[in-house]
Structure formats: C-alpha cells, structure tokens
Amino acid sequence: MKTCIAALLALGFAAGAPAWADDAHDPLLTPIAPTYAARWTAPQEPRKIYGNTYLVGFTAMNVGLIRTDDGLILIDAAVPQSVRALEANIRKLGFQLKDVKYILSTEPHFDHAGGLAAMARDTGATVVASGAAAEVLRRGASGPDDPQDGSLERFPPVTRIKVVRDGETLRLGKMVVTAHATPGHTAGSMSWTWRSCEKDRCLDVVFGSSLNPVSADGYRFSAPEHAGVVASLRRTFQTVRGLPCDVLLTAHPEHSDGDAKYKRLLAGEQPSPFIDPKACAAYADKYEAALDKRLAKEAAGS
C-alpha cells in the first residue's frame, strides 16, 4: 500500500498537479458563478489557428497558446472550474503542462483571470501582466477604477507576476511577444502581438483584450469623474487600429466574429478564415460605435 501511494505521489508531481488532490476542496478550483460562467465554457476541441498559434479554450472564452522552441506561452486561463478542461486541451495537442513558461493576462476579471492561480501552480509558469492589472490580480478583486466594480466576482489571488509596460517585449526562445496597453474595459487591460509562420509565410497575430464599454448598474461613462476612462477607450481604439494584424483572436471570440470563424475553420475553409488584415480595425470600430451609442443614451437621460 505504501508503495502504491508513493507511486501516485510521484506521478502527480511529475504531471504538474497532484494526482491525489481533491479538486472539490481545492481553493484554487472553487467554481465562480458556475451557472453564469457555464455559458462561456462549453467544451471546444483545441485547434491550431496558424503556425505555432493555437486556441485551447472554450466556445465563448478564448485561451491562446503559443509554441516556441523553448516552451509554451499561454494567454489567459478562464475560470477556476474550467482549469482541468484547459489542461486536458493542452495535453491533447501533445504538450505537457510543465512546458508552459509564461501565462499572459489580458484583463483582471474573473472570467479570464479566475484560473490563473491554479494554472500558475500546476505549470510552474509566471503570470505576465500590466502594472495596473498586477495590483488587481494580487488581491483577486477589482477596484474603483474599473467600470464594473461592485458587480464582479472575486477570484483566487495570483502571487508570482512579472509586470510589463506598454511596448515591452517578452522573449521565450526565438519567440518575441509584444505587450500593448489597451485600457478602458479595465485599467490594466493588455493586448499581445507576435509573428507566427507557416513555411515561408509569416503573419502578425493579435490576441486582443475586451474593448466593450460595459459597467455596473448606475455607472455613467459621461460623468466628469469618468472622463479619463472614456479617453483611455478612445486611445485604445486607435491603438488597436494601428496594431500589426493579420490574425485577430479576442478574449471573447464573439466580439470579433471568432466563434463563426472557428466553425468555418472546422469545416475546412481555406485559406483560414482567421486571416483578415482588416479585423483589428473592424474590432475597434465596433466598440467605438458602442461607446458612442452608450454616451448618447446617457446624454438622453436613459
């Protein structure tokens, strides 16, 4: 019996997450708003999008993966209750959890950051985020600078964080990923770009943070004290329009028609429906129009 237990212990640690762990009592896997979150996390097969770029997440929640010659880079980690499915998707592609070296954060909300603490523990990876996002990730809760403050669920705090600035690059092997500050949806939102190649054709890939101007009840973007948030969103729209962008992936795929593109990809459409140099501009235009509509609605008193 002792030999069997020892073998299980060794197997668990080798796999990155203890095989003997009771997930039901794991504080980093405690479900957050399970009924609400279930609409995002329906299973989806992991799939190569282009070159060394993959999606390993869910039908309405993208999690990105970049394969490098020195390990893997993950982008976001969804909610705690989806971590085991996320890990299984990584393995389905033939990778090991221990190969994940960095986890990039797009925004410090529970739907994208809730699983970060568990994934960082299970892989040994370092979470990478903006300075403003790092503050939120460390406490597991948004603050008053977030338009949705007061309506958001808390999530497990993240302890090991590498802070990067706008325009800073992160290197792993020969891969270079660039951080782009895209605040507004949250003060710490960050989008990420890199080059992905197939044979002799290299494309610019963007994993974009959310841009939609949503808020808690009672919040008014038009209030004088929120002028800085609106200005941040305006700058972000311009930033996204100017990104090198052949392939756009967004934290929520439906925000950029990624859900429809994924279905077309599965149907065998060639060239890949994700290749669209106009996608970033369309993404920014869509949500600048949404902001204008929201401001007009507030001005009308509704």
Distance CA(72)–CA(70), nearest Å, equals 7
72 and 99 Cβ atoms separated by less than 8 Å: yes
Distance CA(54)–CA(246), nearest Å, equals 15
Question: Does residue 221 lie within any of the structural domains?
Answer: yes
Q: Phi-psi bin for 131: left (phi > 0), alpha (psi -120 to 50), beta? A: alpha
Q: Is residue 9 predicted with pLDDT exceeding 60? A: no
Question: Does residue 136 lie within any of the structural domains?
Answer: yes
Tokens of 87: 């890990």
Residue 249 has a pLDDT of: 98
Distance CA(71)–CA(171), nearest Å, equals 11
Q: Is residue 21 predicted with pLDDT exceeding 90? A: no
Question: Does residue 249 lie within any of the structural domains?
Answer: yes
Q: What one-letter code names the amino acid at 182?
A: T
Question: Does residue 10 lie within any of the structural domains?
Answer: no
DSSP state letters, 131-153: HHHHHHHHHTS--TTSTTTTSSP
Distance CA(279)–CA(256), nearest Å, equals 7
Q: Is residue 14 predicted with pLDDT exceeding 80? A: no
272 half-sphere exposure, CB direction, 13 A CA radius: 19
Mean pLDDT is lowest, of 7-21, 46-60, 86-100, 258-272, for: 7-21
Strand partners, 177: 170
Model confidence pLDDT, tens digit, residues 232-255: 999 999 999 999 999 999 999 999
Angle, alpha carbons 233-293-78 (nearest 5°): 55
Distance CA(210)–CA(8), nearest Å, equals 41
Question: Above pLDDT 90, what percent of the chain?
Answer: 91
Per-residue pLDDT band at 24 (split at 50, 70, 90): confident
Q: Is residue 20 predicted with pLDDT exceeding 80? A: no
DSSP state letters, 5-44: HHHHHHHHHHHSS-TT--GGG-TTS--SSHHHHTTT--B-
Model confidence pLDDT, tens digit, residues 258-300: 999 999 999 999 999 999 999 999 999 999 999 999 999 999 9
Whole-number Cα distances in Å, 142 to 111, 136, 254, 257, 294: 13, 5, 24, 28, 22
**What sign does the dihedral 220-222-223-226 (CA atoms) show?**
positive
Question: Does residue 9 lie within any of the structural domains?
Answer: no
Whole-prediction pTM: 0.92
Question: Above pLDDT 70, what percent of the chain?
Answer: 93
Q: Is residue 10 predicted with pLDDT exceeding 50? A: no
Of 135, 133, 134, 136, the closest CA to residue 155 belongs to 136
Residue 287 has a pLDDT of: 98
Residue 22 has a pLDDT of: 79
Q: Is residue 132 predicted with pLDDT exceeding 80? A: yes
Number of domains comprising the chain: 1
Q: Calculate the average pLDDT of the chain.
A: 93
Q: Is residue 15 predicted with pLDDT exceeding 70? A: no
166 vs 23, residue with greater confidence = 166
Question: Does residue 203 lie within any of the structural domains?
Answer: yes
Q: Is residue 98 predicted with pLDDT exceeding 60? A: yes
Residue 92 has a pLDDT of: 98
Per-residue pLDDT band at 302 (split at 50, 70, 90): low
Model confidence pLDDT, tens digit, residues 164-217: 999 999 999 999 999 999 999 999 999 999 999 999 999 999 999 999 999 999
Look up the domain containing 147 and give its range.
33-299
Sheet holding 190-198, edge to edge: 169-172, 175-181, 190-198, 201-208, 247-250
Per-residue pLDDT band at 114 (split at 50, 70, 90): very high
Question: Does residue 239 lie within any of the structural domains?
Answer: yes
Question: Does residue 169 lie within any of the structural domains?
Answer: yes
Which CATH number does the domain housing residue 256 bear?
3.60.15.10
SS3 297: helix
Distance CA(2)–CA(9), nearest Å, equals 11
The helix or strand, by DSSP H or E, that contains position 64, with its residue range, turns out to be strand 64-68
Distance CA(206)–CA(246), nearest Å, equals 8
